[in-house]
Structure 1
């Protein structure tokens, strides 16, 4: 009897020891993840964040920070006019270009447009009319692009006081722009499609929605093949890896780039994975990342009821910015209708390995020398997206008051 008791006690002690080790290991992962760190990188998502600033130009820029942008680089600079308290200039931050994946900075200029549209919507709510003049000093010298970006603004924004308006899109500024979750197998209604198509009256821009089976299959194939192509390009993998933030400490330090929130992870699962990647960086190897990227694209395509495209008749820098403004209207209007969007945009990237796919989708969908500026999946999401990193607005403001 005593022997049985000793044996039972031994197994109990062993089990408790294993549980204690598992607990300590899990706690270690959570600490490595930074679970107790305050996520300062999420502060700009607060509806009250802009209120701490007296200058209306900075308050509007704080809203612009929340806009969709290529690779979450937030490549924006706001230069306050020193001689007019109601004027600011938006520049591209040439130190934040992603030259491998976006060699002509087309996506970066689209991202300038998304920022401007968020500023416009916020202005109506806060009581300012925003007169936006694109390239007031002329367009860039394409032969010296980065240098030109430093001296020529994308836009001049002039504010005029007005009665605040309850723009129905304002509340959706604070919702993440991209949702990578599966979408419900539910087509858009004719009314929804018509509403999206009417988002622009600019003859140089158009927006179309595709949800018949033939187009869904072809566009889904383009999305997957674009992901497969990009995943195989080593230099692009290196560029993306340098932008990945593995834990809360890195996210608070850099506040831009990629993180697990972008993949929909949150809570303890996010912290456990962050802890693992921090403790064992090889888990996030190039091959593992590429395989996950391709798999997630395939899964997304299988759960996509519709795609949308934004076209421009030309491909000037002004066209690119205007396409970005239209894209923000698309995102905000989709959210208002209970829909979500995600751009599987690899097929529109302009480096050598992607050229066959880029040319192919343009031959099929933009045959009249037009440019597809944006290509997105759209539908009713199955789960909420998570907010991702944003910089402090004062990090992008020059000539501070």
Structure 2
């Protein structure tokens, strides 16, 4: 009798184990754990070297730049008459109109791209002369059409001696780290060095480390997160570009994924499998709760905030702000710091009007505009690389 009972118990546990292994295997398959991560290829330091055209090689560095909502809204057109000239356009098909109704963040993104091109040019041995809006400013009443027909920048290259650009290696590091930071603030010398990188007229960089400003800016970050997480059309816009598994990430190569929330390793694959099989678990409330919780943890572990402020909201200054932002990211990495932009409070849709107006009144009066708000500190965890498009997808005739 005892042997029979023991045999039945053994069979039960074996069956249970088989079921668990089966479920786990299905989750891993649905997650795409065995797929190659083609969407990470552009992060390889050798990726750009496969392209003979130096313009494409430089654009391959630009595609790694920070960009709003990971939309990667860049188009590169090569000049067919001059092999040393190319043009950068904003991609009107890659806008996020709910969260960025005036395409301000899209313009900042263009500048981020240009600065990476410039830094890579210095390393490779090409001086980059960048002229913004060479064919004139956008017609704001016909913005999408203007984006399609008027370049953001003309980039002209001149062969020079390569330099050992100390910032170049940091192009290949993720630009955003959403984790908790150490309490270590920047030294006075580090603050001064960062403030010195702003050389564009009308674009300034402010750094805040005192307790009063840390508390105030943390409150703005939380308020912005709470407002945004409660706006259905914005959540819907974000959900439409969420990539649930490795198959989708390889297919689209832009948008949001679990890596962007700091979820990695086996946990990431289990969650990807679960979300793929049961999409309803990644519902609006769950996403909002996760966003608010992660923002709360972030502001509680932030020793420094920085702001990029422009004298006005011209398209040129938006682009210049993006160039400064990329430079700030690279300089921060060089010092051992990382960054994250909790910039929801700077977005211009109606629900955000009150805190947007208030933060500008306090920190950028007289018509100035805060283009970027970022938290900065020494990381406690390593950020993951996120999806990037193949540079050849950016090249258009």
Task: Output aligned runs, 1:77-116, within 5 Å.
Answer: 77-116=75-114
RMSD: 0.7
Q: Deviation of residue 268 (structure 1)?
A: 1.3
The secondary structure found in structure 2 opposite 1:269 is helix
Shift of 1:263: 1.0
Q: Give the whole-Å Cα distance in 2 for the aligned partners of 1:201 and 1:111.
A: 19
Counterpart selection for 1:154 from 145, 152, 156: 152
Quote the Cα distance in structure 2 between the aligned partners of 1:186 and 1:140. Answer: 43
Match of 2:219 in 1: 221
Gaps of 5+ in 2: none
Residue deviations 1:293-345 (CA, integer Å, cap 9, x gap)? 11110111111111000011111000000000000000000011000000001
Q: Deviations over 1:242-292 (max 9, x none)?
A: 010000000000000000111112221111100000000011001110111
Give yes or no for the alignment of 1:297 onto 2:295: yes
Secondary structure of the 2:154 match is strand
Distance 1:42 1:61 in 2: 16
- Greater mean alpha carbon deviation, residues 69-78 or residues 260-269: 260-269
Q: Is the 8 A contact 2:310 2:317 kept in 1?
A: yes
3-state SS of paired residue (1:94): coil
1:378 to 376, 379, 388: 376
Q: Which moved more, 1:30-39 or 1:11-20?
A: 11-20
Please report how far the alpha carbon of residue 163 of structure 1 lies from its aligned counterpart in structure 2 after TM superposition. Answer: 0.7
How far off its partner does 1:191 sit? Answer: 1.2
Structure-2 separation of matches of 1:296 and 1:356: 23
In 2: Cα distance, 1:313 partner to 1:128 partner: 31
> Corresponding residue for 1:176?
174
* CA distance in structure 1 between the aligned counterparts of 2:338 and 2:200, rounded to whole angstroms: 24
Match of 2:36 in 1: 38
Whole-Å separation in 1 of the counterparts to 2:126 and 2:250: 32
Q: CA deviation at 1:201?
A: 2.3
1:209-288 residue pairs with structure 2 within 5 A?
A: 209-288=207-286
Partner residue of 1:362 out of 351, 360, 363: 360
Q: Give, in angstroms, the shift of residue 10 of structure 1.
A: 1.4
Provide the secondary structure at the position in 1 that maps to 2:204.
Answer: strand
- 3-state DSSP class of the match of 1:96? coil
Map Cα deviations across residues 21-74 of structure 1 (whole Å, 9 max, x no partner). Answer: 111101110000001111110000000111111000000000000000000000
In the TM superposition, residue 11 of structure 1 has moved relative to its aligned partner by: 1.1
CA-to-partner distance for each residue in 1:98-155, whole Å, 9 max, x for gaps?
0000000000000000000000000011110000000000110000000001000000
Alignment: residue pair count: 397
CA distances 1:179-229 after superposition (whole Å, capped 9, x unpaired) = 001000111111111111111122311101111111011100000000000
Give the Cα separation in 1 of the matches to 2:388 and 2:90.
16
> Which residue does the alignment assign to 2:346?
348
Unaligned runs of 5+ residues in structure 1 are none
Give secondary structure in 2 for the equivalent of 1:310. strand
- Distance in 1 between residues matched to 2:65 and 2:238, nearest whole Å: 20
Q: Which residue of 1 aligns with 2:73?
A: 75
Equivalent position SS for 2:263: coil
The corresponding residue for 1:124 is 122
Q: Partner residue of 1:193?
A: 191
In 1, are the aligned partners of 2:58 and 2:120 still within 8 Å (CA)? Answer: yes
1:56 aligns with 2:54: yes
Conservation of the 8 A alpha-carbon contact between 2:243 and 2:255:
yes
The answer to whether the 8 A contact 2:200-2:320 is kept is no
Displacement of 1:6 after TM fit? Answer: 1.7
Paired position in structure 2 for 1:28: 26
Q: Which residue of 1 aligns with 2:135?
A: 137
TM-score with structure 1 setting the length: 0.98
Deviation at 1:171? 0.2
1:319: which partner in 2? 317
